Amino acid sequence: MLAEHLGCRAVLLNPATDPARGLAAHVGLQTMFHSDEPFEFLPEYVDELRAMSVGAITFPTRYLLVAAKGDELLDWREMVAKYPGARLRLLEGSDHGISDFDQVIDEVLSFAGFGST
């Protein structure tokens, strides 16, 4: 969304293509990931996500999509379909957290304008 509104580059790492759809099932009382502390995920949050949704991207060259075929939460094919024409780095295997990020970090930093490490 920010890349479309600001015209800046964006590196997308295993992005959720429709977060409102995926998170709608979690409305209600939840527990923090790293503790047992409860919190309430409100329906308004899903509405806010829907309001921020962007349709088709306008300048695909502004995007670098890093998608892992082994992502256990999201389907890499949806990612590729959502960002047609974007520079694509498709990782065989890997996972949602891109545990082998060291394989792509130089490309990510270079694309973002920070050079390689």
Q: What is the DSSP string of 24-37?
A: GGG-EEEE-SSSS-
The pLDDT score that the predictor gives to residue 117 is 46
pLDDT band of residue 115 (cuts 50, 70, 90) is confident
Cα 114 to Cα 23, 75, 82, 110: the distances in Å are 33, 29, 26, 5
Angle, alpha carbons 33-77-108 (nearest 5°): 70
pTM: 0.88
Per-residue pLDDT tens over the stretch 61-100? 999 999 999 999 999 999 999 999 999 999 999 999 999 9
Q: Is 22 within 8 Å of 15 (Cβ atoms)?
A: no
Average pLDDT of the segment spanning 29-33:
94
Domains and CATH numbers, the chain: 1-18+59-117 (3.40.50.1820), 19-52 (no CATH)
pLDDT band of residue 116 (cuts 50, 70, 90) is low
Longest dimension (CA), the chain: 43
Question: Coil, helix or strand for 86?
Answer: coil
